[in-house]
């Protein structure tokens, strides 16, 4: 009953999240497809796509201050309008610098919308239901992101229609929250935790989060460019981009169960090497058939995308409860830095090696992460994990607020840890 009551209370919020996910899934894929159609170099497209992550990163600093000044609803309305306008402006000038600027604005505004949604969801849920509600939120987000690329199949003789659809979805996301009678809470600023403090406590979590930004930022930003360069039709491109995030909905839960029973680092290592192996196998098989390529991409996404949540959960194993809020924010910022660099690096790889450069980059990123995980396991024994602690279902678009909420939900109290293990918690400063 409690969960259903909470779901009814946040139904307008979840509808807004679904519309945001659809709009973002479409505009991200659309920009990549159109950039290739306009004969932009792969390196230029990578720079354009990195603008979104740069905007997200800046917004994590700016938006909480703006929300504190004018409130959630006004910020949501302003950012939704700005994003909607920026999407419409993209095709007005076929110039990489202009497209980068628009993608930066879209990223800046999108992070603001997620901060409002996630802080609202966190405050509206109870301690008993928060984990379930956050999982439902992430499933809706992944499902909507996966559904967005299917809208590439909308007829577009003018070259503007699909941009109009993406713009309309972002504008419509404003309606549910504008009409709700509830008031969103304030965003609380977490206690600061330094990046080096996180690294000293859990090097694999810090490096793994950054590397996931490198991989996922490149995958979501340049996947459409790779598909077009491979000669796929628009319908096939939409399917190739849609299945990986949808596949995570299926793979995340069993991976989470395994991570709570075994050393998370071993599971992270296996997944990283599997992702690298799938990327390597895809290189010679990419030209065999479109269905095979789409299936391989779906497998890659289902294996590679959950690694981000594993890195977050591994960080929590080394932190005290009062450290997790500040640490979550820094981990999201590390992911954001990787997301900026990823499209740039893969763009230059594709410029140098052609379409195989995309998969060579993925193979190097995830293979390198697997090797680092092996190195860390040789340096430190497995950390103790709290009994019953669950790995979070976390999307690549998760903001500081969402990561913070999930981290707090996962965190057992010091007393619970003593009860479970009979000894104090592993400190972040432990070598």
Does residue 208 form part of some domain? yes
- Considering its fold, how many domains does the chain have in total? 1
CA distance 111 to 400: 9
Domain membership of residue 133 (yes or no) is yes
User: Would residue 88 count as lying in a domain?
Assistant: yes
- Please give the model's pTM, rounded to 2 decimal places: 0.76
Is 208:331 a contact under the CB 8 Å cutoff?
Answer: no
In degrees rounded to 5, what are phi and psi of residue 46?
A: -60, -40
Residue 414: predicted pLDDT: 45
The pLDDT assigned to 260 comes to: 67
Show the tokens assigned to 278: 């799938």
- What digits encode the pLDDT tens for the residues 50-68? 998 888 888 877 777 777 7
Q: What length does the chain have?
A: 431
Does residue 361 fall inside a structural domain? yes
- The predicted pLDDT at position 89 comes to 95
Q: Is residue 333 part of a domain?
A: yes
Which tokens sit at 413?
A: 């109290």
Note the pLDDT tens digit of each residue in 77-102.
Answer: 888 899 999 999 999 999 999 999 99
298/302 Cα distance (integer angstroms) = 6
In this predicted structure, what is the pLDDT of residue 75?
81
The confidence score (pLDDT) of residue 369 equals 94
Rounded distance, CA 372 to CA 236, Å? 35
Here the CATH number for the domain that contains residue 411 is 1.20.1250.20
Look up residue 175 and give its two tokens: 């309606």
pLDDT (0 to 100) of residue 7: 74
Q: Which residue is it, tokens 């491109």?
A: 237
Cα(392)–Cα(253) distance, rounded to whole angstroms? 9
The domain in which residue 352 lies consists of: 2-180+193-421
- The answer as to whether 430 is a domain residue is no
* CB neighbourhood size of 249 (10 A): 16
Q: How far is CA 100 from CA 54, 72, 95, 257, 369, in A?
A: 10, 27, 9, 40, 29
Helices (H), 230-289: 234-261, 264-285
Domain presence at residue 185: no
Asked whether residue 188 is assigned to any structural domain, the reply reads no
Mean pLDDT split into 10-residue runs, the chain, 431 residues: 68 87 90 90 90 84 75 81 94 93 91 75 65 72 87 86 93 82 58 69 83 90 91 91 85 74 83 96 93 95 85 68 58 82 92 94 95 85 50 52 49 46 36 28
Q: What is the CA radius of gyration of the chain?
A: 21
CA distance 3 to 329: 27
């Amino acid at each position: 009953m409690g969960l259903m009551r909470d779901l009814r209370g946040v139904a307008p919020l979840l509808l807004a999240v679904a519309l945001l996910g659809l709009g973002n899934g479409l505009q991200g894929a659309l920009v990549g497809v159109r950039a290739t159609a306009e004969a932009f170099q792969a390196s230029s497209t990578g720079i354009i796509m990195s603008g979104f992550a740069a905007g997200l990163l800046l917004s994590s600093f700016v938006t909480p201050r703006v929300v504190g000044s004018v409130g959630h609803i006004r910020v949501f309305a302003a950012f939704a309008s700005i994003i909607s306008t920026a999407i419409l402006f993209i095709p007005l000038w076929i110039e990489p610098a202009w497209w980068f600027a628009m993608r930066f604005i879209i990223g800046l505004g999108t992070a603001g919308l997620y901060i409002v949604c996630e802080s609202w969801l966190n405050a509206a849920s109870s301690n008993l239901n928060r984990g379930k509600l956050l999982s439902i939120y992430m499933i809706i987000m992944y499902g909507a992101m996966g559904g967005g690329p299917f809208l590439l199949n909308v007829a577009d003789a003018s070259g503007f229609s699909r941009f109009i659809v993406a713009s309309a979805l972002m504008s419509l996301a404003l309606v549910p929250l504008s009409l709700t009678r509830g008031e969103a809470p304030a965003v609380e600023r977490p206690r600061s935790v330094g990046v080096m403090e996180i690294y000293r406590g859990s090097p694999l979590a810090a490096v793994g989060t950054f590397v996931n930004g490198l991989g996922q930022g490149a995958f979501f930003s340049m996947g459409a460019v790779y598909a077009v360069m491979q000669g796929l039709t628009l319908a096939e491109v939409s399917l190739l981009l849609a299945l990986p995030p949808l596949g995570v909905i299926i793979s995340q839960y069993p991976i989470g169960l395994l991570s709570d029973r075994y050393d998370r680092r071993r599971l992270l290592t296996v997944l990283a090497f599997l992702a690298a192996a799938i990327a390597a196998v895809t290189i010679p098989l990419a030209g065999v058939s479109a269905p095979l390529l789409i299936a391989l991409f779906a497998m890659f996404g289902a294996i590679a995308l959950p690694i981000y949540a594993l890195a977050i959960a591994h960080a929590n194993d080394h932190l005290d409860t009062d450290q997790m809020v500040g640490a979550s924010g820094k981990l999201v910022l590390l992911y954001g830095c990787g997301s900026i660099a990823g499209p740039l690096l893969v763009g230059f790889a594709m410029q140098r090696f052609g379409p195989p450069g995309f998969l060579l980059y993925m193979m190097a990123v995830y293979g390198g992460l697997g090797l680092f995980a092996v190195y860390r396991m040789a340096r430190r024994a497995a950390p103790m994990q709290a009994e019953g602690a669950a790995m979070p279902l976390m999307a690549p678009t998760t903001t500081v607020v969402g990561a913070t909420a999930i981290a707090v939900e996962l965190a057992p109290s010091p007393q619970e840890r003593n009860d479970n293990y009979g000894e104090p918690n592993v400190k972040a400063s432990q070598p």
